[in-house]
Amino acid sequence: MSQDCIFCKIIAGEIPCNKVYEDEDVLAFHDISPIAKVHFLLIPKRHIESLASCTERDAEILSKITLLAPKLAKEQGLDGFRTMINTGKSGGQEVFHLHYHVFGGDAQLPKT
Ligand code: 5GP
Ligand code: ZN
């Protein structure tokens, strides 16, 4: 756990969240400021700063999260959805604990 990390605090139960899914490696919860009708975040429980700090040892958790995204999206009623990983300040990342955004549920997402 990283001391100042808001997502580590959510994992530890110190900050509440609206949970979508949890297992020993992964937590998924609804984004506090959704950009679509359904918008949740999928995160590893182990603190990883960003996609840019991932190495070979993270391959398994990245694969697990990637494969969970469509399953959880379907459970949330989405037939189509978008995944997004913001990486680094200039990539729009604000919380420096790796997270996949999964969102959809509106009529049609714009092309970009
Ligand atoms: P980023 O900009 O780093 O890719 O995305 C961070 C996301 O985390 C944002 O969409 C923001 O709304 C969400 N977020 C930030 N703090 C909290 C929180 O305390 N709870 C929840 N559920 N989402 C949060
Ligand atoms: Zn963290």
**pLDDT tens sequence across 6-40:** 999 999 999 999 999 999 999 999 999 999 999 99
Task: Decide: pTM greater than 0.85.
Answer: yes
32 within ligand 1 shell (Cβ under 6 A): yes
Q: What is the pLDDT of residue 111?
A: 85
> Can you tell me the distance from the alpha carbon of 26 to that of 101, in angstroms, rounded to the nearest whole number?
14
Q: Which atom of ligand 1 is nearest to the CA of 94?
A: 3
Q: Give the separation between CA 91 and CA 100, rounded to whole angstroms.
A: 13
pLDDT above 90 (res 106) = no
Q: 46-101 pLDDT, tens per residue?
A: 999 999 999 999 999 999 999 999 999 999 999 999 999 999 999 999 999 999 99
Q: pLDDT value at position 68?
A: 98
